[in-house]
Structure 1
Amino acid sequence: MRPAPLLLLAGVALGGAASPTQPILRGDVQIHDPTVLRVNGAYVAFGTGHEYIDDGTLRVKTSPDGVTWTDAGTLTQTQPAWVNGALGTNPPNLWAPNITLHGGTAYLYYAASQFGKNTSAIGLTTNKTFDPNHPTRGWTDLGIVVRSGPGDNFNAIDAARIDTPDGRAWLAFGSWWDGIKLRELDPASGKLKTRNKTLYRLASRGGQGIEAPSILQHGGYYYLFTSWDRCCAGVNSTYRIMMGRARTVTGPYTDRTGRPLTDGGGTPLLTSAGRYIGPGGQEAFHDGARDTLAYHYYDADDAGLSKLQTATLRWGADGWPTLDPHPGGS
């Protein structure tokens, strides 16, 4: 994920300039719904748990350079006790984590849900001494942040925290139903702000597939990245990454044509190509002096396994980002 390895792994032709491609990641890159954090030059990725394996708890990967990855096991041995109480059962796995740092503390949000229903909850675990060399140590689970049920028009999964320059913090979340929502957080506790109970509406497709929000601030705008359509079906997945932007974190967000995201708007950022099927579950994050998008794809050359990929967000003169092509030109 640094410029030099990126160019080397991209296979720049000797004796001539070539456009860069996304890096070729190595090692154990099997992951779903990745969230990536860089700490002291090292990288840690958390992802959705494997169904019925290790109690479905969150998976962990580590990398010294963002290119070569190693499996680090699971975050915990069992699901937190609150999950069964909130859902009435323990689901096959926990989903879609999101990790951020604030004031030296790591905040890791994750989801527990009954698949296909909005009987769901987003939980939070924190770590005041997070060490990328020992990423499973030092966590304290704080329970539910937000939950949803049959009476709600949203699904409380796919959390994404963003801390804004004014000292405030926000949590975007949502999947299908009426789409992507936003609530204000208390920056220190990581829980919902009690003095602001507004549920902001950021993006909707009127009941069609939209999920996995991620918000990144750049150049006077907030960019909202989402995954559209169908995930979790291997090479039959139709996931694609879409985007819009707004002047304030609460919106209104519009796409490149000016269409509101609350009215089905969205500008394509990445779709299936070659072996890279159904890209999505993405997270945009500041990676030192550059901005990076981490996402999973289903590898058509490897039985449709979900794998990690990263790409530099390259900002154009018009303020909209693009991504380099996949290795091999696809």
Structure 2
Amino acid sequence: MRGPVKPPNYLSEVERALNDNPQEWSIYNAHDPSIFKDGDTYYVFSTDTKTSSTNCKIGAGAQIRKSSNLIDWEWVGHALEGVPKDAFEWTQAKGLWAPEVVKWNGTYFLYYCASQFGTNQSFIGVATSSSINGPWHDRGEVLKTSKKNKPNGIDPNLITDKNGTPYMIYGSFFGGIYAVKLDKTTGKLAEPNDEGICIAKRENETKEGAVEGPYMIYHPEYDYYYLFVSYDSLFSNYNVRVGRSKEITGPFLDYNGKDLSDDQYRPSDEIGTKLLAGYQFQDGDGWMAPGHNSILEDEGQYYICHHARIPDKKDLFCMQIRQMLWTETGWPLISPQRYAGEEIKKIDKSEMIGKWDTVKFIREKDGMNHSFIIEIYEDSKLNMLDKTYQWEKTGDITVHLSETETGETIELKFLEAWDWKNEQKTIVFTGMDSTGTCLIGKKLI
């Protein structure tokens, strides 16, 4: 079994983000990343944007990066030469947002969107190619929206349901998230002018009350469709949430049975199982506003790909890859550390004993989540936030906690990881309690 390996330091992180040469950016300046595997190579397509701290002129057309190992990322260039004519005429956009690639019947389809911040005068288009490396041929409009429409035609995500029917999941801010059928041959709407079905929304159509960046997967083991969305402002308090459904058009319910499309519930920030938000460990290791994710399933292992910002340099953002695990009842969990080549393998009970720097992602907590210390004892006791739990190792990487007075239970998954802050191997956990609240932690040395 392979453990984590020391990754590159990316020119001490910040220098790389500020470099005026895109060839040096690696994971930096990659916003709204969508991951796709073709053969043995991983590709990420992302929004045409960069930190305002660099004067680099990179053009437009959807950024592309590639990797052979999910760790080292190489700049490829742009998929298209600027904003396609029809998209520009409808939106006057200067760049493309949130591109995504899917392969159907031997043809690659590149979906892109164009808009301007704060408006739903938006356009989703599609280009095709016989190769992931292009050239891409623009096929024009899939869907466009205006002030007359309730949806917002941005953030396209493609999925095929269990019956082989393709859908586009899309939307942001205005009216929520929609699912609409596509024609797999053309890549366009199966029914002209069809907006689809609303599957998630919030009552507040502002950046503080946003729901956007949808990404849906189907997990065959649990027989659920999982809808991942990002809540709140991408500049400060972005966070990733999830609901699941037996049907691709919903209803998508969170851990507590609340419907992601229920915009009458107050407060709406209690809807959606919160998987990842801004956090900071006590050694300063942490990230702000993680969100707009995609999901990669690779030979049975799942990874989440998202962007995040540096807490003390809010203008700087980068792409991150993290391992995903699953609870016994089929809810996703996210590693607290970026992927560094580790595989899931048995963790001995003795390695779990000690002090752990821990973060809880409380649903109603806004912004950064700061850590606290818990201690796991050899006598099967665990102290956390003035409560004493009994803990039992129930699997190779699984621990169950129980608290007698309240009946609270917690399921934790342990895995090897690379501590990027301290540049050493470590052990981490990710888990969920019986209220659907997620926890992450890393062992203190």
* TM-score normalised to structure 2 length: 0.64
Aligned equivalent of 2:307, options 296, 304, 318:
296
Q: State percent identity of aligned pairs.
A: 29
Q: Which residue of 1 aligns with 2:37?
A: 38
List runs of 5+ in structure 1 lacking aligned partners: 11-25
**In structure 1, distance between residues paired with 2:162 and 2:107:** 17
**In structure 2, distance between residues paired with 1:77 and 1:189:** 22
Q: Does the alignment pair 1:220 with 2:223?
A: yes
C-alpha displacement of 1:256: 0.4
The answer as to whether partners of 2:83 and 2:94 remain within 8 angstroms in 1 is: no
Quick check: 241-250 or 66-75, which moved more?
66-75
**In structure 1, distance between residues paired with 2:232 and 2:127:** 29
Q: Which residue of 1 aligns with 2:128?
A: 126
Q: Does the alignment pair 1:169 with 2:171?
A: no
Aligned equivalent of 1:74, options 78, 81, 88:
78
**Residue deviations 1:53-95 (CA, integer Å, cap 9, x gap):** 44432111111111100111222232211122222x2x23210
C-alpha displacement of 1:124: 0.7
**Secondary structure of 1:85 counterpart:** helix
Instruction: Mark the structure with the bigger radius of gyration.
Output: 2
The answer as to whether partners of 2:309 and 2:317 remain within 8 angstroms in 1 is: yes
Aligned equivalent of 1:269, options 275, 279, 294:
275
Letter in 2 for 1:213: P
Mapping of 1:229-248 within 5 angstroms?
Answer: 229-231=232-234, 233=235, 237-248=236-247
The answer as to whether partners of 2:151 and 2:195 remain within 8 angstroms in 1 is: no
Q: Which residue of 2 aligns with 1:103?
A: 105
Q: Does the alignment pair 1:191 with 2:191?
A: no
Runs (4+) of structure 1 moved beyond 6 Å?
none
Q: Which residue of 1 aligns with 2:200?
A: 203
Q: Which residue of 2 aligns with 1:22?
A: none
C-alpha displacement of 1:313: 1.8
Letter in 2 for 1:181: Y
**In structure 1, distance between residues paired with 2:68 and 2:190:** 36
Question: Are residues 174 and 67 of structure 1, via their aligned partners in 2, closer, same or farther at CA, if it must alter by over 3 Å?
Answer: same
Tell me how large the CA RMSD over aligned residues is: 2.1
Aligned residue pairs, count: 301
Mapping of 1:15-54 within 5 angstroms?
Answer: 28-30=26-28, 31-50=30-49, 53-54=57-58
**In structure 1, distance between residues paired with 2:224 and 2:144:** 29
**In structure 2, distance between residues paired with 1:71 and 1:302:** 23
Question: Are residues 46 and 315 of structure 1, via their aligned partners in 2, closer, same or farther at CA, if it must alter by over 3 Å?
Answer: same
**Which one scores higher on RCO, CA 8 angstroms, separation ≥ 6?**
1
**In structure 2, distance between residues paired with 1:34 and 1:287:** 17
* TM-score normalised to structure 1 length: 0.85
**Residue deviations 1:74-124 (CA, integer Å, cap 9, x gap):** 22232211122222x2x2321011112222222111110021110001111
Quick check: 144-153 or 195-204, which moved more?
195-204
Letter in 2 for 1:141: D
Q: Which residue of 1 aligns with 2:352?
A: none
**Secondary structure of 2:184 counterpart:** coil
**In structure 2, distance between residues paired with 1:27 and 1:55:** 15
Quick check: 68-77 or 47-56, which moved more?
47-56
Question: Are residues 205 and 189 of structure 1, via their aligned partners in 2, closer, same or farther at CA, if it must alter by over 3 Å?
Answer: same
The answer as to whether partners of 2:31 and 2:318 remain within 8 angstroms in 1 is: yes
